[in-house]
């Protein structure tokens, strides 16, 4: 007979629980927990599941809006009304620690998990994106991580037949040792078929469907709630293993199930596996669940109750149906050749009751386990970091202007943060299902909604360097830049999902970054009327004494009422006018130019005026809808010279540009300074008057700065004169050279 381990404070600490949390468990149960119960509390009260250090701040986000069909965090993913009986479900989540340890499986299962969050709501996934961050590619380990993360994302998404339509790849030293892998998925559902993650109705049967349960991923949630060390990096058993072919079958079976009136609730078994789905679904339904682990289909022998409850084996769902429909449920999963096993029933006790080998091995009030219920919520101490005032002191006098701006531009076009990511994107199938209107490499991705005139635009954005230098304004900029990219593609921003990647929340300086960034995100979302539908918080992204840059990635979704208004970044025709919407006020603080050319990471970052930003976005979108604008490209990393270069190299052969810009700025500020609330557009000369009238009506500044040419070159004032072929070589070939060195 196996002897039960002694449950004491030391054992609780080893499970990641604090002394106060262990004492609270004693109060809840009125007794000492057994080993299974301790494991259940440890995963449900982990940072990854409970958001105990962040939930109070997250509640400050704007979480309601006229188009939102569910409140933030209410379901597995956000749900936004598109009209005509359709809605879009979307969400972004992190899989950082698993990817840092086992990049292929970590990234692949991150994609699988976010897909399940979408299709458990009855929404068919139609597109995915990602936001990836790695340390310097001069280090072989970081090249290895990038290579295998991309391979994992590509293999899983391609096997599922869901197009990966874009995202971002960012390289900064701070991400060495702790890469960030954020995956976003978007799906479409008829509103009458939306499903909920709920368990209710006494006596209703509870099923596990999909894959069998193994030992992979045990304590994955707690693994994601600690810093990476040499010890944790050796815990590869904490990383789940995915099977996209099973997921494809599970997706089709789940979507068929979601159309049945006798379905009560369905939830993915993600973090914390059976434990999480049972406790969250029953708490939401104000009910209880009783399950028998002897009935759980296992893929490994001799698994104990602790292992079964905490396993994070992939491609599994918990399903609750009305009594009397067992035969119909089994028929669906038999059709798709998936396991479908009844493991328990809904009760009216409010308890999570777990049986194994004839014994009750756990009995815990479900409400006490879950976020928004009894899970801990903390007010964390904050302290402004000393670096904040010290590092925001850059002045233009601190650097010398270089003599060869052609060379500077080519250097920037070849730097990993600006250069084309086609090395990454061409591993993804971005056009499968034939809905992709704009794929990787542009401002935002655009997906056609078949059977309608509508489309959806989606973008993932964050400049972690900006957030590091000024967390509050950096958080605002992450929101408005993602919205600006959606607008440039022809979409009206609707709502966001976010993935908040930070270091150790128990460090007051880290939590100050988090609190400031969350405040900034909330301010920008209120200004743009883009509520937060939900997302993910990922803390403890650090190794040793080094935390990643605070990186609140924003996933923005926008609506195109008419897919014909889809707009791209490339120039369309020689003779077209090049016009800026907004005033060029190039700022070198925090810029890619300052980092790459001068080796400085200093602020202040570009100033943002939210009212002005709203006006510029409104002007651009209105001009697109009126057919005035032929291309639109927001000014961001690398400044004006990079912006124009990107529009040239993406356009048809023969085109170039000549700019004559009147300015008060220094040459390097004009060419490479980064500023907010500026969009560069092109239009025919005959449309210029109409654009100016529209800008005057909205009281927005415009400036004609040049023309598209047929010279295959870029000329800007008397500073830059460079051939297109040199720009193309720097822009399209650099990342592959770096990765294959």
Q: What span, in angstroms and rounded, lies between the C-alpha atoms of 185 and 119?
A: 10
Q: Record the tokens describing residue 620, joined without a space.
A: 């651009």
Q: What span, in angstroms and rounded, lies between the C-alpha atoms of 457 and 447?
A: 6
Q: Record the tokens describing residue 202, joined without a space.
A: 């006494």
With 0-12 / 13-18 / 19 or more C-beta atoms within 10 angstroms meaning exposed / middle / buried, residue 723 is: middle
CB atoms within 10 A of CB 124: 18
Sheet architecture: strand order including 339-347:
263-268, 316-321, 205-210, 339-347, 288-292, 351-356, 359-365
Q: Record the tokens describing residue 183, joined without a space.
A: 């995956």
Q: What span, in angstroms and rounded, lies between the C-alpha atoms of 94 and 416?
A: 22
Do 500 and 544 contact (CB within 8 A), yes or no? no
Alpha carbons within 13 angstroms on the beta-carbon side of residue 645 total: 34
Q: What span, in angstroms and rounded, lies between the C-alpha atoms of 54 and 654?
A: 52
542-543 and 656-659 beta bridge pairing: unpaired
Sequence-distant (6+) residues with CB within 8 A of 398 are: 600
Pick the closest to residue 273 from 43, 112, 33, 46 (CA basis): 43
Which segments of 501-574 does DSSP mark as H helices, in order?
A: 508-528
Q: At what angle do helices 140-160 and 244-257 cross, to 10 degrees?
A: 40
**Of 48, 97, 148, 356, which is the active-site residue?**
48
Pick the closest to residue 167 from 386, 391, 412, 439 (CA basis): 439
**Of 95, 148, 219, 356, which is the active-site residue?**
95
CA angle 429, 90, 452 (to 5 degrees): 75
Q: What's the gap between Cα 288 and its chain centre? A: 33
Q: What span, in angstroms and rounded, lies between the C-alpha atoms of 342 and 164?
A: 35
**95 noted as active-site residue:** yes
CA 674, 675, 676, 680 torsion: positive or negative?
A: negative
Q: Record the tokens describing residue 623, joined without a space.
A: 């001009």
Q: What span, in angstroms and rounded, lies between the C-alpha atoms of 560 and 456?
A: 6
Q: What span, in angstroms and rounded, lies between the C-alpha atoms of 569 and 488?
A: 8
Helix, strand or coil, per DSSP, at residue 489? coil
Q: Record the tokens describing residue 259, joined without a space.
A: 């159309």
Pick the closest to residue 634 from 485, 527, 486 (CA basis): 485
Q: What span, in angstroms and rounded, lies between the C-alpha atoms of 225 and 97?
A: 9
Instruction: Tell me the catalytic residues.
Output: 48, 95
């Amino acid at each position: 007979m196996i002897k039960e381990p002694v449950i004491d404070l030391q054992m609780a600490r080893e499970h990641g629980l604090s002394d106060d949390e262990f004492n609270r468990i004693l109060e809840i149960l009125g007794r000492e927990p057994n080993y299974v119960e301790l494991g259940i509390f440890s995963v449900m009260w982990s940072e990854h599941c409970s958001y105990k250090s962040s939930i109070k701040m997250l509640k400050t986000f704007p979480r309601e809006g006229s188009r939102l069909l569910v409140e933030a965090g209410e379901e597995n993913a956000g749900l936004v009304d598109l009209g005509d009986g359709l809605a879009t479900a979307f969400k972004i989540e992190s899989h950082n620690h698993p990817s840092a340890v086992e990049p292929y499986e970590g990234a692949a299962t991150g994609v699988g998990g976010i897909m399940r969050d979408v299709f458990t709501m009855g929404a068919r996934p139609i597109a995915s994106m990602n936001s990836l961050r790695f340390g310097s590619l001069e280090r072989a380990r970081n090249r290895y991580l990038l290579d295998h993360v991309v391979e994992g994302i590509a293999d899983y998404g391609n096997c599922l037949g869901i197009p990966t339509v874009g995202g971002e790849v960012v390289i900064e030293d701070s991400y060495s040792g702790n890469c960030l892998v954020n995956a976003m998925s978007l799906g479409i559902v008829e509103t009458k078929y939306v499903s909920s993650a709920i368990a209710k109705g006494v006596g209703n049967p509870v099923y596990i469907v999909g894959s069998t349960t193994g030992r992979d991923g045990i304590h994955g949630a707690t693994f994601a709630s600690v810093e990476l060390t040499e010890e944790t990096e050796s815990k590869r058993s904490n990383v789940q293993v995915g099977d996209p072919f099973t997921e494809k079958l599970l997706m089709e079976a789940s979507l068929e199930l979601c159309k049945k009136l006798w379905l009560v609730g369905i939830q993915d078994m993600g973090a914390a596996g059976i434990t999480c789905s049972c406790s969250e679904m029953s708490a939401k339904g104000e009910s209880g669940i009783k399950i028998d682990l002897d009935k759980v289909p296992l893929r490994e022998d001799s698994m104990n109750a602790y292992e079964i409850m905490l396993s994070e084996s992939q491609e599994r769902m918990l399903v609750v149906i009305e009594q009397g429909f067992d035969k119909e449920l089994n028929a669906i999963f038999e059709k798709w050749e998936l396991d479908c096993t009844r493991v328990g029933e809904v009760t009216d006790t409010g308890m999570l009751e777990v049986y194994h080998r004839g014994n009750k091995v756990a009995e815990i009030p479900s409400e006490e386990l879950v976020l928004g219920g009894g899970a801990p919520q903390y007010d964390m101490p904050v302290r402004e970091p000393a670096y904040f005032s010290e590092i925001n002191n850059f002045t233009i006098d601190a650097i010398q202007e270089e003599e060869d701006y052609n060379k500077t531009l080519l250097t920037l076009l070849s730097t990993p943060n600006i250069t084309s990511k086609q090395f990454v994107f061409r591993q993804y199938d971005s056009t499968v299902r034939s809905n992709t209107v704009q794929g990787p490499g542009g401002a935002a991705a655009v997906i056609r909604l078949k059977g309608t005139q509508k489309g959806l635009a989606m973008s993932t954005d964050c400049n972690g360097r900006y957030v590091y230098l000024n967390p509050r304004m950096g958080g605002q900029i992450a929101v408005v830049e993602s919205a600006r990219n959606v607008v440039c593609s022809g979409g009206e921003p609707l709502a966001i999902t976010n993935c908040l990647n930070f270091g150790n929340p128990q460090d007051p300086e880290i939590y100050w970054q988090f609190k400031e960034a969350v405040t900034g995100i909330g301010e920008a979302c209120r200004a743009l009327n883009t509520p937060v539908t939900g997302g993910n918080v990922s803390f403890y992204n650090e190794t040793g004494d080094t935390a990643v840059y605070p990186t609140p990635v924003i996933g923005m979704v926008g609506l195109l009422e008419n897919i014909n208004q889809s707009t791209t970044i490339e120039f369309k025709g020689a003779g077209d006018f090049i016009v800026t919407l907004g005033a060029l006020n190039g700022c070198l603080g925090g810029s890619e130019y300052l980092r790459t050319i001068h080796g400085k990471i200093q602020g202040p970052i570009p100033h943002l005026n939210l009212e002005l930003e709203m006006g510029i976005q409104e002007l651009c979108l209105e001009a697109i809808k009126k057919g005035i604008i032929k291309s639109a490209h927001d000014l961001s990393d690398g400044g004006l010279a990079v912006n124009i270069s990107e529009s040239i190299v993406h356009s048809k052969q023969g085109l170039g540009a000549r700019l004559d810009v009147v300015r008060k700025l220094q040459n390097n500020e004009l060419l490479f300074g980064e500023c907010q609330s500026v969009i560069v557009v092109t239009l025919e000369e005959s449309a210029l008057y109409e654009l100016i009238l529209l800008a005057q009506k909205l009281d927005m500044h415009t400036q004609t700065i040049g023309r598209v040419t047929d010279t295959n070159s870029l000329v800007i004032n008397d500073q830059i004169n460079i051939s297109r072929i040199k720009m193309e070589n720097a822009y399209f070939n650099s990342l592959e050279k770096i990765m294959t060195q």
